[in-house]
Amino acid sequence: MSLPQILGQFPTVRLRRTRRYEWSRNLVSETALSPKDLIWSVFVREESISPEITSMPRIKRYSVQELVKEAHKAHDLGIGLLALFPVIENKRKSEDAKECLNDQGLIPTTVRALKQALPNLGIMTDVALDAYTSHGHDGLVTNGEILNDETVKLLAKHAIVHAKAGADVISPSDMMDGRVGVIRQALDSENFEHIQIMSYAAKYASVFYGPFRDALGSQSCLGKSHKKSYQLDPANANEALREVAQDIAEGADMVMVKPGLPYLDIVARVKDTFKVPTFAFQVSGEYAMLDLAAKAGWLDFNQGLMETLISFKRAGADGIITYGAVEAAQFIQKEPIKK
C-alpha cells in the first residue's frame, strides 16, 4: 500500500489545515529547542591577547574576568554547560605541549574562577594539544609523524589537570586511537569517576574549522600541514560509526559529531544506531557563514541560526555546541519555539 493510500488523498486530506494558524503550528510541531539543549562554546584568552577575531566578528575572546561576567548571563538564560577553548601566547607553545600540564595555566584558572562564581554551571574542557603545540597539531610529532600512543599518555595527564581544577566534562577532541579508554582509566584512578567524558567521536577533517584556528592562533603554527591522518575523511560514514562504537566501548558517556550541518546524516545514524546521548558541534565556519551572510543582507541572522539549530535536533542530536548559544537562548525567550 502506498503512502497516499494510507493517508488519504486531496481534497479530503489537506495538510495545510494545521499550518494555517500559529497555535495550530505550535501544537503539531515535531521538534522542540530550548536553552537547555545548548552548550556555549567560548574562547578564553590570556590578558595580552586581543579579544577580536577577524573571521568571527560577532564573537570575541574573553579574559577570565570577562568570561565570569558573561557566564552569569548565559546561566540566567538557562544554558547549563560551557565549553572552554584556550587562546595562549605563542611563547608558551612548544613541540611537547608542556603548557597543557600547567595547573596554574589559563584553563585551570578559568575553571576555578567559574566554579567559584557559579558552582552549578557545568564546565566542559577541550583535551587536545593543538592550542599548546608550536606545530599546531593535536598530537605530539616526530619526523612529521603524529605519535598516537605517546599523545594519549599526555592527554590523560592533561585531563587530570582539568579534573583537579573542577571541570565537569572532559572532551577529548584529538581523534587519537584509544584515548577515551586511557583518559577514563586515569580519571577513575584519581577518584574522578564522577567526571563525564564527551568524546569528539566523529570529528572530520573539515575546512569549516578555519575561523576556530584563526581564533586560537593554531593555523599559523599548522601552516600548510593538515590533520587528515587522524581526523575522519568527509567521504566516510561507516568509519564514523566504528569510531563512535569504539569510544562508547572505552567509556564515553556522550558522543559528538563535528562539524554539524554538513554531517546531519552522521548525527542521525549515530543516534539511530547507538541510542546514546549524541551531540552536534555547530563549528566556527558554519557560524561565521551565517554572520557574514546576514551582514550582506542575504538572510536574517537569528532566523538562520534557529533554523540550523532545529535541524540538529531534528536529525537526532540531544544538544548542540555552538558559539551562538546565548543569542539563540535570547531569541527563544522572545519567540519561543514550542513542541
Q: Which pTM value belongs to this model?
A: 0.93
pLDDT digits (tens, 9 = 90+) for 292-322: 999 999 999 999 999 999 999 999 999 999 9
Task: Give yes or no for a contact between 45 and 89, defined as CB atoms under 8 angstroms apart.
Answer: no
Distance CA 32, CA 325 (A): 15
Q: Residue 336: is its pLDDT beyond 60?
A: no
More confident residue, 312 or 4: 312
Q: Looking at mean pLDDT, say which of 119-123, 138-142, 219-223 comes out highest.
A: 119-123
| Residues tagged active-site | 203, 258
Averaged over 81-98, what is the pLDDT?
95
**pLDDT tens-digit readout, 210-233:** 888 888 776 566 666 788 899 999
pLDDT value at residue 220: 61
Coil vs helix vs strand at 213 = helix
Cis peptide bond upstream of 259, omega within 30 = yes
- Answer whether residue 3 shows pLDDT above 80: no
User: What's the grid cell of residue 44?
Assistant: 578564553
Name the band, by pLDDT with cuts 50, 70 and 90, for residue 43. very high
Phi-psi region of 91 (alpha: psi -120 to 50; beta: other; left: phi over 0): alpha
Q: Which residues pair with 203 in a beta bridge?
A: 258
Q: What pLDDT score does 201 carry?
A: 97
Is the pLDDT reported for residue 198 higher than 90? yes
Provide the pLDDT for residue 338. Answer: 45
DSSP symbols for 91-140: GG-BTT-GGGG-TTSHHHHHHHHHHHH-TTSEEEEEE-STTTBTT--SSE
Q: What is the DSSP string of 217-279?
A: THHHHHTT---TTTSBPTT-SHHHHHHHHHHHHHT-SEEEEESSGGGHHHHHHHHHHH-S-EE
Q: What is the CA radius of gyration of the chain?
A: 21
Domain 33-334 has CATH 2.30.140.10: no
What is the share, in percent, of the chain residues with pLDDT greater than 70?
Answer: 94
Residue given cell 565556519 in the structure block: 285
**SS3 at position 167:** coil
**Of all residues in the chain, what percent carry a pLDDT higher than 90?**
83
Greater confidence (280 vs 14) lies with 280
For residue 334, name the pLDDT band (cuts at 50, 70, 90). Answer: confident
243 assigned to a ligand binding site: yes
pLDDT of residue 339: 39
Identify residue 261 by its one-letter amino acid code: L
What average pLDDT is seen over the chain? Answer: 93
